[in-house]
Structure 1
Amino acid sequence: MAEKKGKRASLKLVREGHRLLTDDGQDIMTLAEQNQFKVAAVASAIGAQVQELENAIKKATGSGPKEYFRTHRIILAQRYLRMGYGADQIVSLLGFSHYTHLAREVKLFYGMTITAWTKTEQARCMDPGFSFG
């Protein structure tokens, strides 16, 4: 009797601290960074369908992959700014389509213009009591 080809097991993601891992240990955020935060590219990298990845991230985090990646990307932008990178460099490093895309994300996430955000972060870095932690 021939075996029926069944549906493969659904994608399961495991939280490990702040990390979100596939069952074989791949870090979803590392993959997102390597794939310019594109959901379809991350799904392809782990051999999953986009819908599977969307469902698994939603189940693990409570938000969809676009929002999950977006939050991570803007936090990385803040880290890069604090490390001395300029906004134009951050645009390139994090795969924003253009400067105004980063500016829009900063406005939505931090509630300020990119110029004000840059000045605020640079001032924080000049504070002797400031730590990156």
Structure 2
Amino acid sequence: MKRREVEIIQKDGRLLVFFANDVFPASLPIIARESRFNATELCTRLGVSERHLRRLFEEGLGIGAKEWLRQERMVVARNLLREGTPIKEVATQLGFANYKNLNREFLAFYDISPSDYQRRELAKLKATAI
């Protein structure tokens, strides 16, 4: 795979990807979402090998690429659930094979099931609207 000069940095609370020949940086979370939080697809989008991707993340963020992708996917899942997006749709949008996998991952990450989380958050919204 041909290697592009790529750098991942945090700037002003945002995660950015700088490509050597581009004037403006790209948003890493947007690229990750477009890659459906898949490390192999992210490598393809960035034009780097998986080994180089690991290096970029560890040097730029101090965390492994797969762990960051997992965390980012769970943050997006939480936000979608808070907005009232159906659980099956969240699973599909985020690249889970099925909603059961989302359920298992969300429960392991947040210690609450997606349905219980969504119910709680929607109840909070109703309470503040009154």
- Shorter-chain TM-score above 0.5: yes
Letter in 2 for 1:88: K
* Distance in 2, Cα, partners of 1:43 & 1:124: 39
Pick aligned residue for 2:16 from 14, 18, 21: 21
Matched positions, count: 122
- State how 1:90-105 maps to structure 2 within 5 Å: 90-105=90-105
Kept after mapping to 1: 8 A contact 2:57/2:64 = yes
TM-score of the two chains, using structure 1 as the length reference: 0.81
Deviations 1:45-79 (A, max 9, x none): 12111111111112222211111111111111111
Larger CA deviation: 120-129 vs 62-71: 120-129
**1:32 Cα shift?**
1.0
* 4+ residue runs over 3 A deviation: 8-11
Q: Which has the higher contact order (CA 8 A, sep 6+)?
A: 2
Extract unaligned runs of 5+ from structure 2: 20-24
Question: Does residue 125 of structure 2 align to residue 125 of structure 1?
Answer: yes
Q: CA RMSD in A?
A: 1.9
Q: Deviations over 1:4-23 (max 9, x none)?
A: xxxx7864212123322222
Where does 1:1-133 land on structure 2 (aligned, <5 Å)?
11-24=6-19, 25-128=25-128
- Residue 112 of structure 1 aligns to which amino acid in structure 2? I
Amino acid at match of 1:12: E
Gaps of 5+ in 1: 1-7
More strand by share: 2
TM norm structure 2? 0.82
Contact 1:32 1:38 in 2 (8 A): yes
Q: Secondary structure at the match of 2:15?
A: strand
The separation in 2 between residues aligned to 1:41 and 1:95, in whole angstroms, is: 11
| Structure exhibiting the larger radius of gyration computed from Cα positions | 1
- Indicate conservation of the 8 Å contact 2:39/2:66, yes or no: yes
Percent sequence identity is 24
